[in-house]
Amino acid sequence: KNEVEQSPQNLTAQEGEFITINCSYSVGISALHWLQQHPGGGIVSLFMLSSGKKKHGRLIATINIQEKHSSLHITASHPRDSAVYICAVVARRTDKLIFGTGTRLQVFP
Amino acid sequence: EPEVTQTPSHQVTQMGQEVILRCVPISNHLYFYWYRQILGQKVEFLVSFYNNEISEKSEIFDDQFSVERPDGSNFTLKIRSTKLEDSAMYFCASTGIGEKLFFGSGTQLSVL
């Protein structure tokens, strides 16, 4: 079983829809990252969380440390949001980043 | 915004050859990482580097792999004797304390 699980694996949406991607993990962590990988392969870090909630533009990330769960929300989705979204956790007392398998999002006009 | 740069963008090599992948992290960052992604699979952690030494490495990072920060700006990953299964996209990343990660655009390594 993967230490970091994401759901759904694939997601399609119409432009304007509200999107939620979930991440559950089974290890103790010191931080959690949400990453975006575009079709060309480049990876961009969206958020680093250790508690609570962060917002940047149309993106919101939350984390519940007790439940070992994080969500990434996209409000008013747009075709340019189409990408793979990856959850990755920093295992506690290490530098090791453990990656989820990613959620492939396609937003259609 | 500052960038992590990686060279080359593509590298083709014969099995058994040595390759060196190069990265220039963001200048005031303290923590450096190498990751890889085999086609169609998830990203995997290889190694982290802090204060001029390896701080953590994965099971993948065996004796064939080494990292160096030779001159205070470059951060290199060397694979001594490449195998077919080393074919992957290799990403370098750097960060400061409490910051998010900054990734390079990757080096696509193809071992023939």
User: A45, B106: Cβ pair inside 8 Å?
Assistant: no
Q: Which residue of A has its CA nearest to B46?
A: A96
User: B43, A98: Cβ pair inside 8 Å?
Assistant: no
Interatomic CA distance for residues A107 and A16, integer angstroms:
9
In the stretch 93-112 of chain B, residues with CB closer than 8 A to chain A read: 93, 98-103, 105-106, 108
Which band of pLDDT confidence, cut at 50, 70 and 90, is reported for residue B105?
very high
Residue with tokens 């696509």: B108
Q: With beta carbons less than 8 A apart as the criterion, state whether A48 and A35 touch.
A: no
**With 0-12 CB in 10 A as exposed, 13-18 as middle and 19+ as buried, what is A65?**
middle
Interatomic CA distance for residues A52 and B23, integer angstroms:
33
Candidate from A16-30, A62-76, A91-105 with smallest mean pLDDT: A91-105
> Which of A43, A48, A98 lies nearest to residue B103, judging by beta carbons?
A43
> Which of A33, A96, A100 lies nearest to residue B101, judging by beta carbons?
A33
* Chain A residues within an 8 Å CB radius of B23: none
SS3 B111: strand
* Chain B residues within an 8 Å CB radius of A35: 101, 103
Q: Which residue has the higher pLDDT, B98 or A74?
A: A74
Angstroms from A58 CA to nearest CA on chain B:
18
Which band of pLDDT confidence, cut at 50, 70 and 90, is reported for residue A1?
low
User: A100, B106: Cβ pair inside 8 Å?
Assistant: no
Interatomic CA distance for residues A17 and A30, integer angstroms:
32
Using the predicted structure, report yes or no on whether residue B51 has a pLDDT greater than 90. no
Angstroms from A77 CA to nearest CA on chain B:
23
What pLDDT is recorded for position B28? 87
